[in-house]
Amino acid sequence: MNNKEFVNELSKQTNQTTGATTQLINDAIKILEEHFQQNDVVNISSFGTFEVKKKMERISVNPTTGKRYLIPPKLVLAFKQSNVLKEKFNAE
């Protein structure tokens, strides 16, 4: 499912226009981005938890040249599904 299909499906289920649905999705994403920038944990009930985690720096090796290089630390967004969602997938 791509973004356009998602917006169309959500607009049908909520009886809203696609423009209003697109604006709603954009606003929700903007709110999530603001919380991620503050390193807040975002928990969406019956769906899962989003959390910003820091990956430590590490050394990697290029397999063809054997050259070692340092990968700097970075922040990544992690998602852990809820037990409700996990059970729905395992039930099928």
pTM of the complete model: 0.74
How distant, in Å, are the alpha carbons of 32, 43, 77, 86 from that of 83? 22, 12, 19, 5
3-state DSSP assignment of residue 89? helix
3, two tokens? 């973004």
Are 80 and 67 within 8 A, CB to CB? no
Q: Tens digit of pLDDT for each residue in 18-28? A: 999 999 999 99
Half-sphere exposure of 46 (CA within 13 A, CB side): 1
Q: Which domains does the chain have, with CATH numbers?
A: 1-38 (no CATH), 40-92 (4.10.520.10)
Q: Tens digit of pLDDT for each residue in 18-68? A: 999 999 999 999 999 999 999 999 999 989 999 999 999 999 999 999 999
Return the number of other C-beta atoms located less than 10 Å from residue 48's C-beta.
Answer: 17
pLDDT value of residue 90: 84
